[in-house]
Amino acid sequence: MRAVQVVGYHENLRMAEVPAPEPTGPFDVVVKIGGAGVCRTDLHILEGQWEAKSGVALPYTIGHENAGWVHGTGSAVTNVAEGDKVIVHPLVTCGLCRACRSGDDVHCENSRFPGIDSDGGYADYLKTSARSVVKLDASLEPADVAAYADAGLTAYHAAAKAARRLTPRDRCVIIGSGGLGHIGVQVLRALTAAELIVVDRDPDAVELASSIGAHHGIVADGDHIGKVLDLTGGAGAEVVVDFVGEGGTTAEGVRMLREAGDYHVVGYGENIDVPTIDIISAEINIIGNLVGSYNDLCDLMALAARGAVTLHTEKYGLDDFQSAIDALDAGRVRGRAILVP
């Protein structure tokens, strides 16, 4: 089968022919890929940012946002059958550790992360597990929802955590309305009655956010912090969700936050530099967000099936992977780029 592989850091990806995976364990599920999302984390992998953390041996197949059809199963798989449309939770988890048994499987003590530390889905087929596949509603197609598997799931996880704090009297600032942020805006609109303020450098992204539920859209043009403070009566927002996490947004996000507010970090790329006296005197909370759990993914797909969340995508053929990577790196992708084998 075809597989797009990392052959070296600071090098372009390469297409290779490799053996198609087969079920070897009782709970294995092989998925025929219908769509694989192109994520900014993939760019960070090529930059070498994940080299030490993942410990993966090169070459390996990249891609951690995957959906498709069940192609084969192990002998003990009962929750899906050949031909079922599925979206793939990005982690392969054990089901036995404390985190898994608590429903917090994203922190599984024995997990694998296909596309990060093992072969992923920029390919014709992917091997995962029965614990990782979620059946899709008949109204949903793999290529249209693949990026929910990580971008959508990460956005949902952060937005759902933020929504638990928010009331109808509160304001929530969303920094970035790109691939993750435009999903987060819709999830927040579905889960909370709080006032949503979106800040983005791209006027088109601000326009998109306004069209999908944001109450206010602000272009980051140098005066955006002041505009946010004006909208919040000078106090700042109860919650800031930062889907960018680089280019100065971390400092700006904290400045938009009111006392005792929550700053959710989702995007990454720079350090947060806040004097500890400012943290304690204002009692602000800095909250990290990784990817969501299997149950988070099920909840997100329920929202997608009822049309409460819509993924904006640009599709590329698998052989055209470099164009997708280049477009994402140059900031030309509106929403998410999807590779379709």
What average pLDDT does the segment 255-278 reach?
A: 95
Nearest of 159, 247, 149, 258 to residue 200 by alpha carbon:
247
Q: Give residue limits of the domains in the chain.
A: 2-150+291-340, 154-288
Average model confidence (pLDDT) for the chain? Answer: 96
Predicted TM-score (pTM) above 0.85: yes
3.30.390.30, 2.40.50.140, 3.40.50.720, 3.30.460.10: CATH of 154-288:
3.40.50.720
Residue 182 and residue 314: Cα distance in Å, rounded? 14
- Model pLDDT, residue 178: 87
79 CB burial (10 A radius; 0-12, 13-18, 19+): middle
- Model pLDDT, residue 52: 85
Residue 148 and residue 139: Cα distance in Å, rounded? 15
Q: Which CATH architecture has domain 2-150+291-340?
A: Alpha-Beta Complex (3.90)
Counting residues of the chain whose pLDDT is more than 90, the rounded percentage is 93
17's tokens:
């022919």
Which long-range contacts does 54-59 make (Cβ < 8 Å, 24+ apart)? 54/113, 54/116, 54/117, 55/117, 56/6, 56/116, 56/117, 56/118, 58/5, 58/6, 58/7, 58/8, 59/5, 59/6, 59/7, 59/14, 59/16
- Summarised one tens digit per residue, pLDDT across range 283-335 is 999 999 989 999 999 999 999 999 999 988 999 999 999 999 999 999 888 77
Residue 275 and residue 17: Cα distance in Å, rounded? 52
- Model pLDDT, residue 269: 85
What average pLDDT does the segment 109-124 reach?
A: 96
The better pLDDT of the pair 168, 331 is held by: 168
136's tokens:
């899709």
Distances 98 to 107, 155, 263, 288 between C-alpha atoms, Å = 9, 25, 28, 21
- Model pLDDT, residue 53: 85
- Model pLDDT, residue 268: 86
Across 18-27, 45-54, 101-110, 227-236, least confident range: 45-54
Residue 122 has pLDDT above 90, yes or no: yes
- Summarised one tens digit per residue, pLDDT across range 66-83 is 999 999 999 999 999 999
- Model pLDDT, residue 186: 96
